[in-house]
Amino acid sequence: MDYDPFRIRAIVPEFEEISADYAVASAETRSRHRHVLDIAYGAGPRQKLDVFVPEGLSGPAPVHIFIHGGYWRMFAKEDYSFIADTVSSAGGIAAILDYSLMPDVRMATIIDEVRRATHWIAAKAADFGGDANRITISGHSAGAHLCCFLLNPQSAPVQAALLISGVYDLKPLQSSFLQPEIGLTDTEVTHYSPLHATQVSTTRATILVGEAETAPFHDQANAFAHHLHSEPTTTVPAANHMSIVLDLGTPGTPAAQALTRMIRDS
């Protein structure tokens, strides 16, 4: 089999083990934190989100939205409840999004869904103790890509973003293992590659990539940081494409520290 730097299962030997860790950690989070699951932000079966509200809020709290990865065609919000641990510790309310998956829908539909979900959260923030003026977002892999379409004030009411191991140029994926699965079109590559967007966001963004990730993730992260005129990319020591997102819910890790700072500064 030819080497494919985007085929994460072949590159991270612990892929299945870490995926299982997501589920275990998320179940533990749901057992500890007050939450409401499967809140509909639209009519579609995956247009739902989970909200985690910390105990003892003394006033309107910052709201943090997480968008999961999976190359736009796998994983679900239930796999990522563990991120609410860090959000709650920082005094924030966590909203973990789901969205429709490719190839059943196209990229434009998914981007529209995350935008609609973000506006829904802003409109409903006060209902669950949140402050609509203090919304931040994070996303991993494909989720980081989707976050890029929330970075302009006219697109979504977002104050800051944490982009983790993102895909910012879709063109190389057309030559990867993924193409037979989701069939990226030339139009999608042209319209939905954040690295080549003509409008540069003014929303504050922090970009992370794992030290053990393959070259395209490092190259695209660095190029996108330059494109945004943001801080240089932060490389997380020893982290791979799967472990870096698990670190978001692990106190003391660079990823969790970056998330905590962003929420508290919002």
Summarised one tens digit per residue, pLDDT across range 36-52 is: 999 999 999 999 999 99
Q: What percent of the chain has pLDDT over 70?
A: 100
C-alpha torsion sign, points 172, 174, 180, 181: positive
Mean of the per-residue pLDDT values for the chain? 96
Q: What is the pLDDT of residue 1?
A: 55
The answer to pTM > 0.85 is yes
Task: Return the domain boundaries, the chain.
Answer: 8-265
Q: What is the pLDDT of residue 22?
A: 98
**Contact (Cβ atoms closer than 8 angstroms) between residue 247 and residue 80:** no
Beta strand 93-97 with 48-52: parallel, antiparallel or unpaired? antiparallel
User: In angstroms, rounded to a whole number, what is the distance separating the alpha carbons of residues 196 and 252?
Assistant: 34
Q: Is 104 exposed, middle or buried (0-12, 13-18, 19+ CB in 10 A)?
A: exposed
Q: What is the pLDDT of residues 117-161, one digit of tens each?
A: 999 999 999 999 999 999 999 999 999 999 999 998 777 799 999
User: In angstroms, rounded to a whole number, what is the distance separating the alpha carbons of residues 105 and 114?
Assistant: 14
Longest pairwise C-alpha distance within the chain: 57
Exposure on the CB side of residue 263, measured as CA atoms within 13 A: 28
Write out the H or E segment, with its range, that includes residue 225: helix 215-228
User: In angstroms, rounded to a whole number, what is the distance separating the alpha carbons of residues 195 and 220?
Assistant: 8
Q: Is 245 helix (H, G, I), strand (E, B) or coil?
A: helix
* Fold observed for domain 8-265: Rossmann fold (3.40.50)
Q: What is the pLDDT of residues 203-258, one digit of tens each?
A: 999 999 999 999 999 999 999 999 999 999 999 999 999 999 999 999 999 999 99
Q: What is the pLDDT of residue 165?
A: 98
C-alpha torsion sign, points 257, 260, 265, 266: positive
